[in-house]
Structure 1
C-alpha cells in the first residue's frame, strides 16, 4: 500500500518574530576631579633678642606673635620682674 503525505505550504506555518535587541544605555561621563588648592607658604619667624636671666646674656629667641598677644600682661610683669632682679644682681648686662 502506498501512502502519499500531503505537505503543508510554507506560507501557512506560523513563525514567531524575533524580539528586537534592547539598545545599550550610554555610559555616564566621569566628573572631572577638582584641582587641589596649593598650600600657602609659612611665614618665617623672626628671632628676637631676649635677655636670659640664667646666663646674663642676650640670646636669640623665637617668640610667636600670638603668644605675645595672649600673654602680654603676664609677659610684661615677668619682664619687669626680671629686669628688677638682674638690675639688683648685675648692673651691667653682658652683650657679646
Structure 2
C-alpha cells in the first residue's frame, strides 16, 4: 500500500506571484486598481482626504470628495482601502482598472 501526499492547490491573486506548470515562480501580475466615488451619496465628511490625501481631496464649493488620481499605485493600495472602508456613507469603492 502506498501513501499519496496531500498537495494543496496553489492560488494566485492579482499582484501575487504565480506558479507556472513546472512550479517555478513567474513575475508578478500587475492589475490596475482605481477608486470610484458616488457623489450622489457623498456627504463631505472628508475622512477619505484625512486618511489618504495623495488620492482624495474635497471640493471647495460643495464639500464633496474629489478624486485627484483615480488609478493609484500599489504602494498606496492599503491607504486607499482604509479610506474607502472609513467612508460613513459608503460612497467610495475600489475597482479593477478600466471603466468602473
Fold-level match, TM-score > 0.5?
no
Which is greater in Rg? 1
- Whichever structure has more strand as a proportion of its residues is 2
- Whichever structure has more helix as a proportion of its residues is 1
With the shorter chain as reference, the TM-score category is under 0.3
Structure scoring higher RCO (CA < 8 A, sep ≥ 6) equals 2
